[in-house]
Structure 1
Amino acid sequence: MQFTVAHDHPCLPGHFPGRPLVPGVVVLEQVLRAAEAQAGMPLAALRLPQVKFMAPLLPGQTASVELDGQAPRWKFRVWRGDELLARGELVADAEGAAA
């Protein structure tokens, strides 16, 4: 799944003035959307037991989410072209994921 955070996104004005960066929580929201799309349903009671950010995402840049696994547990990677921006693991409560 690809995504781009627009230059006028409401999270950007304070993060950081003069050099806006997309906050990690906004990147992780896209990971969640990708997992929900794969599961075909909203996911509840999520955990992120492991997340590592390697490089920043700037407004207007296109990134993609890559998932390995299936509900309720995925390993994910977020890429900007060939550059790895983030990686980690997303786990949904068994009640909030397709069996």
Structure 2
Amino acid sequence: MENTSCCIYTFSPYIFLNAYGGLHGGAVAAVAEMVSIACARTVVSKDKDLFLGELSMSYLFAAPRNAEVIVDASVVRSGRNVTAVTVEFRLGESGGVVYTAKATFYNMPVASL
């Protein structure tokens, strides 16, 4: 499964601001994790548990206060044991990329006893 767009999330206005008036980095990472898990769940069987192995964030530009931010996630690769997801945060008006994330999930089969 190559580059399948599966989740778009829009939030505006937001209250999690840093000292400079931009969207707080921790809030960005939390949204990236939530959206990437939802996206990975679309291709991984429900009988397998997902474990987040790595989350890499790139903070390219600070989204200003009350700007609409559109989050788009896509599955880059999904195999038997590993699923990779990319997430892009874009400004609603200009469409410019402000943050990117890459998440790697391990697919663990449920043990049958």
TM category (shorter chain) comes to 0.5 to 0.7
Tell me the equivalent position of 2:38.
37
- Secondary structure of the structure 1 residue equivalent to 2:54: strand
The runs of 5 or more residues in structure 1 that have no matched partner are none
Q: Is the 8 A contact 1:3 1:30 kept in 2?
A: no
**Partner SS state of residue 45, structure 1:** strand
**How far did residue 36 of structure 1 move?**
2.5
Q: 2:105 corresponds to which residue?
A: 92
Q: CA RMSD in A?
A: 2.7
Aligned length: 88
Unaligned 5+ runs, structure 2: 1-8
What does residue 69 of structure 2 align with?
Answer: 63
Structure 2-normalised TM-score?
Answer: 0.61
**Identity of matched residues, %:** 10
Higher strand residue share: 2
TM-score w.r.t. length of structure 1? 0.67
Deviations 1:23-44 (A, max 9, x none): 2221121122212323168853
Does residue 1:47 correspond to 2:54, yes or no? yes
Tell me which structure has the larger Cα radius of gyration.
2
1:93 & 1:3 partners in 2: Cα distance?
28
Give the whole-Å Cα distance in 2 for the aligned partners of 1:59 and 1:43: 34
Q: Shift of the alpha carbon at 1:20? A: 2.0
Instruction: State the 4+ residue runs in structure 1 displaced beyond 6 angstroms.
Output: none
State the Cα distance separating 1:67 from its structure 2 match. Answer: 1.4
Range that drifts further, 72-81 or 35-44: 35-44
Which structure's residues are more often helix, by fraction? 1
